[in-house]
Structure 1
Amino acid sequence: MNTPALCRSCAEPLTHTVADLGLSPVSNAFVKPEDAAKGEIFHPLHAYVCHHCWLVQLPATTDARTHFHEDYVYFSSFSSSWVEHAKRYVDAMIPRLHLNASSKVMELASNDGYLLQHFVKAGIPCLGIEPTANTAAAARQKGVESREMFFGRSTAAQLAQEGWQVDLLLGNNVLAHVPDINDFVGGMPTVLKPEGVVTLEFPHLLRLMAENQFDTLYHEHYSYLSLTALLPIFKRAGLRLFDVEQLPTHGGSLRIYACRENASHADTGMVARCVQQEKDGGLTDLGTYAAFEEKVRETKRALLTFMIAAKREKKRIAAYGAAAKGNTLLNYCGIGTDFIDYVVDKNPVKQGRLLPGSRIPVRSPDAVFETKPDYLLILPWNIKEEVMQQMQGVRDWGCRFVVPIPSVEVVL
C-alpha cells in the first residue's frame, strides 16, 4: 500500500481527492519540431485537499526547475488586459502606501517586467525576483532591475544583507507555484520594513470550485488557494492579513494585504468576511470536494460530444491560446489533431512548437484568417472577451467561438 503524501502546509497525510485528471505532461513544456519523434514524460495530475488545514494541492511530483528555466515560454506582456491590470494596481498602490523616490518595491516572479515597468516610470526604485532567465532579460530591456533566483528564507536573507528591505513586496500568481509554501512566505518578513506591506494575487479556490475551473490544475500550480488555508501559513511566518479584495482576473482572484504582526495597519474586516464566504461555499466540507470530480468528468463528456458531432459534420476546428490551462483540458479530454487542426497564440516563442501531449501545432493568429475554420475554441477562457474582440473578424465567414469552461458554450 502506498504511503499518502503529506500536506505541504501542515504535514498531515493527504487522503481526500478533489480531482484526478490522470497522467499529463508538464503544461508549459512545449515541444520543438526537431523533438517531435521523441517521447514526453507524463506525471500524475491528482489534486487533494488536506482535511486538517484545507489546503488544496498537488503532491510535488515535479521540481520547480522543471517549470521555471531559461527557456520559459510564458511572457506576461502578451496579454494586454493583464498589463492594464498591472498599471491599475501601480496607480492604486502609490497613493495608498505613499510610495515615492525614497521607497523600495520588490516583486516576486516579476516575469518580463510587465508590472514593475510602471514603478520605474514613476521613479520608484524596484527590484524583480525572477528565476527564468529569458523573461528576466526581457524585463531588463524595460529598465527593470532583475535577479534570477527562487525566493525563500535563504535568498531573502541574502537580499536583506544587500540592503533590500522594502515598503511594498508583491507577487501576482506566484504563491500557487511554489513547492515549499512555508519557506516562501517565511522569507517575506526578512525583506519587509517594519511598516511594509505584502500584496499577493492568486486565483481563488472558491471560484475554481463554484465555476468548474478544473483546467487551472497543472503541475506548475502546486497549491489552489483559499484564505482559510493561508491564514495559518502567514501566522507561522509572523505576518498578519489585514485586508483582502476580490478581483475578476483569472476567473476570480483574491488580492491579500499582509504586514508584520505588530505593524499599525488596521484590519478592514474583509478578511473575516471572506473566510465566512468560503465556509458558506463549502470549502471546509469534504462533501464539496467529493462532488467536484463528477462535475469535471461531465465537462469532459460534453466537450467530446461537441467535438465528435462537429467533426462528423466535416467542420474544421482551430483553437486560440496556447495556455497552460488549455493543455490540461486537451490532455485530460484526449483531444489532439484528430479534432483540432492547430492552436494560435500571439507569443512568438510558442509559435512553431507543438503543444505538450496533444502535439497540436502552434501558429500565429494570422493562420485563422488564412484557413477560415468553422469553430475557434478559446482555451484561455478567462480572457474570452479580449480574444473575441481581437478575433471578431472570424464572424465574417460564419466562424463561431466555443468556450469550454464552466460548461461548453457556442457563441454566435
Structure 2
Amino acid sequence: MTRCRLCGSATLASVVDLGATPPCESFLAADQLDRPEPAYPLHLRVCTDCWLAQIPPLITPEETFTEYAYFSSYSTSWVEHARTFVADAVRRVGLGPDAFVVEVASNDGYLLKHVVDRGIRCLGIEPSENVGAAARDAGVPTLTEFLSPDTGAAVRDEHGPANLVVANNVYAHIPDVVGFTRGLRALVADDGWVSIEVQHLLTLIEENQYDTIYHEHFQYYTVASAIRALASGGLALVDVELLPTHGGSVRLWARPAEVAGEPARRVADVLDREKAAGLQELSGYAEFSARVAKVRRDLLKFLIEAAERGETVVGYGAPGKGNTLLNHCGIRPDLLAYTVDRNPYKHGRFTPGTRIPILPPERIAADKPDYVLVLPWNLRAELVEQLSYVHDWGGRLVFPIPELSVVEVASREVTA
C-alpha cells in the first residue's frame, strides 16, 4: 500500500502487523485439506492526514462475498438488534405505508424481514448469491449485486429513491470507499436518510479488539474519518450513536449534504472522545502492538498449560474474527480440538489456516470439555446464557479479548 484509499496521502504509519493469514471466511472442505492455501499480509496502517485506518486491498470483494459463510440470522441477539433498529427507524424517519427502504449488504434478510412485516416496501442489495437466495426464500426482495454508483442509480430508476438506506457492517468491507459512498447517495432520496453501523476504531484500540482486523475489513473508522468518507459521496453526518455491538460500534446517521443542517451535539461529544484518546496523532496508536502481543502470549500460555495438565479445550463459534485470533496465535488442533457453530453451512468444514474442525454445537454437551474458548467474545452476555449447561460437569468458559478471562458459569458470571 502506498497511498490512502480515501484522501490519497502517502503518509501511512504502521499500527500492528499480524503476519500473513488466509481470508477469514474461506472455510475449508475436507477434500481441500491437502491443497495449497493462499495467505496474505495483514498489516494495519493509519493515514496521518485523514486518520483512516486501513489494510491493503489484497483480496477483492468478489473473492469473499460471492459465496459467503456468514448468515446473520444465526445470532439471536443480532436479530433482536435489527428488530429494535427497524422500530426506532420507523419513528425517527417517519416511515409510512408509502415509504421505501433499501438495505445494502442485506445478508439473509435478518433486518428487512422486520420491514416486510410492517408492510413497508423494501429491497435488499446483497452480493453473496447463497445468502441472498436465503433472503428471497424468507420473503425479502433481494438483488444480487455489489453497490456502485451505477447500481445505485439503476435501483433508483427502477424503484424510486429510498427514504431510508441502511448499511450495517458493510462500510468497512469495501475497498472503494468513495465509489460506495456515491452509491449510497444515488440510492437515497434528496430529503432521505442513510444509517450506517460500523465498528468504532476507538473501542478496537482501547479494548485490544485486534481480531476484528481481517482481509474483508479494508478500513476502520473513527467518527472523524467517517465524516470525511461520507463527504466524498455528498453525504453529511447529522447524528451518531454509540452501540455495544461487535464490541463497540457507531451508528452514523447521514443525509444529503444539501439538507443535513447542523449535526447533533453527540457528534461533537464523540469527536472530543476520539481526540482525547489520541486517535488524530500517532501517540494514540503507539502501545497497541504491544498489547496485542500480550493477548497472544496469555492465550497460548493458558492453552499449553491446560494441555500439559491433560485438560480438554474446545471452541465455540467460527466467526471471521476468530480466524484472525487463531492464525495470529498459531493455534492448531493439538491445543484446540475443535470448535462448534450454529451455522450448518460450516459443519464438517475446517477453519482457514489452522485447520480446526467445525462441528455442531451439540458436540460440547456430548464431550464435556474442561474449557470452552468463546471466539465471538462480542456476544458474551448471550453466550454465557446459551452455554450455562457447561457448569453441569464443572466446565468453564474462556474469553480471550480484551484480556484472558476464565469464567465459571453458574447463575451469574464469576471471573476466576
Same fold (TM over 0.5): yes
Kindly indicate whether the alpha-carbon contact (under 8 Å) linking 2:104 and 2:166 is maintained by their aligned counterparts in 1.
yes
State yes or no: 1:151 paired with 2:147. Answer: yes
State yes or no: 1:371 paired with 2:367. Answer: yes
- Using the TM superposition, give the Cα deviation of residue 251 of structure 1 relative to its aligned residue in structure 2, in angstroms: 0.3
Q: Distance in 1 between matches of 2:26 and 2:3?
A: 27
Match of 1:13 in 2: 10
1:40 to 27, 32, 37: 37
- What does the per-residue CA deviation read over 1:8-53, in whole Å, with 9 as the maximum and x for residues that have no partner? 1011125311110001000000000111111200000000000000
Kindly indicate whether the alpha-carbon contact (under 8 Å) linking 2:254 and 2:260 is maintained by their aligned counterparts in 1.
no
Match of 2:87 in 1: 91
Kindly indicate whether the alpha-carbon contact (under 8 Å) linking 2:200 and 2:222 is maintained by their aligned counterparts in 1.
yes
TM alignment of 1:176-325, pairs within 5 A: 176-263=172-259, 267-325=263-321
Amino acid at match of 2:13: H
1:60 to 57, 61, 71: 57
- What does the per-residue CA deviation read over 1:261-305, in whole Å, with 9 as the maximum and x for residues that have no partner? 121665322112211111011111202212111111111111111
Q: Distance in 1 between matches of 2:2 and 2:39?
A: 19
- What does the per-residue CA deviation read over 1:209-254, in whole Å, with 9 as the maximum and x for residues that have no partner? 0000000000010011111111122223221111001111110110
Q: Distance in 1 between matches of 2:37 and 2:399?
A: 28
Percent identity between matched residues is 43
Moved over 4 A (4+): none
Match of 1:24 in 2: 21
Kindly indicate whether the alpha-carbon contact (under 8 Å) linking 2:181 and 2:232 is maintained by their aligned counterparts in 1.
no
SS in structure 1 of the partner of residue 311 of structure 2: coil
- Using the TM superposition, give the Cα deviation of residue 196 of structure 1 relative to its aligned residue in structure 2, in angstroms: 0.2
Kindly indicate whether the alpha-carbon contact (under 8 Å) linking 2:238 and 2:260 is maintained by their aligned counterparts in 1.
no
Structure 1 gaps, min length 5: none
- What does the per-residue CA deviation read over 1:295-346, in whole Å, with 9 as the maximum and x for residues that have no partner? 1111111111111111110110000000111000000000010100100000
- Using the TM superposition, give the Cα deviation of residue 350 of structure 1 relative to its aligned residue in structure 2, in angstroms: 0.5
State yes or no: 1:78 paired with 2:49. Answer: no
Kindly indicate whether the alpha-carbon contact (under 8 Å) linking 2:397 and 2:406 is maintained by their aligned counterparts in 1.
yes
SS in structure 2 of the partner of residue 215 of structure 1: helix
Kindly indicate whether the alpha-carbon contact (under 8 Å) linking 1:344 and 1:362 is maintained by their aligned counterparts in 2.
yes
- Using the TM superposition, give the Cα deviation of residue 123 of structure 1 relative to its aligned residue in structure 2, in angstroms: 0.4
Kindly indicate whether the alpha-carbon contact (under 8 Å) linking 1:186 and 1:237 is maintained by their aligned counterparts in 2.
yes
SS in structure 2 of the partner of residue 175 of structure 1: coil
- Using the TM superposition, give the Cα deviation of residue 5 of structure 1 relative to its aligned residue in structure 2, in angstroms: 2.1
Q: Distance in 2 between matches of 1:15 and 1:167?
A: 37
Structure 2 gaps, min length 5: 409-416
SS in structure 2 of the partner of residue 270 of structure 1: helix
Kindly indicate whether the alpha-carbon contact (under 8 Å) linking 2:4 and 2:12 is maintained by their aligned counterparts in 1.
no
Amino acid at match of 2:178: N
Q: Distance in 2 between matches of 1:59 and 1:14?
A: 14
SS in structure 1 of the partner of residue 70 of structure 2: coil
- What does the per-residue CA deviation read over 1:92-114, in whole Å, with 9 as the maximum and x for residues that have no partner? 11111111110000000000000
Change in CA separation of 1:409 and 1:372 when aligned onto 2, cut-off 3 Å: same
SS in structure 2 of the partner of residue 184 of structure 1: helix
SS in structure 2 of the partner of residue 349 of structure 1: helix
Q: Distance in 2 between matches of 1:323 and 1:291?
A: 26
Match of 2:411 in 1: none
Match of 2:137 in 1: 141
- Using the TM superposition, give the Cα deviation of residue 56 of structure 1 relative to its aligned residue in structure 2, in angstroms: 0.4
Q: TM-score, normalised by structure 1?
A: 0.97
Change in CA separation of 1:198 and 1:177 when aligned onto 2, cut-off 3 Å: same
Kindly indicate whether the alpha-carbon contact (under 8 Å) linking 2:181 and 2:229 is maintained by their aligned counterparts in 1.
yes
Amino acid at match of 2:341: D
State yes or no: 1:353 paired with 2:349. Answer: yes
Q: Distance in 2 between matches of 1:359 and 1:278?
A: 38
SS in structure 2 of the partner of residue 187 of structure 1: helix
Kindly indicate whether the alpha-carbon contact (under 8 Å) linking 1:14 and 1:48 is maintained by their aligned counterparts in 2.
no
- Using the TM superposition, give the Cα deviation of residue 164 of structure 1 relative to its aligned residue in structure 2, in angstroms: 3.2
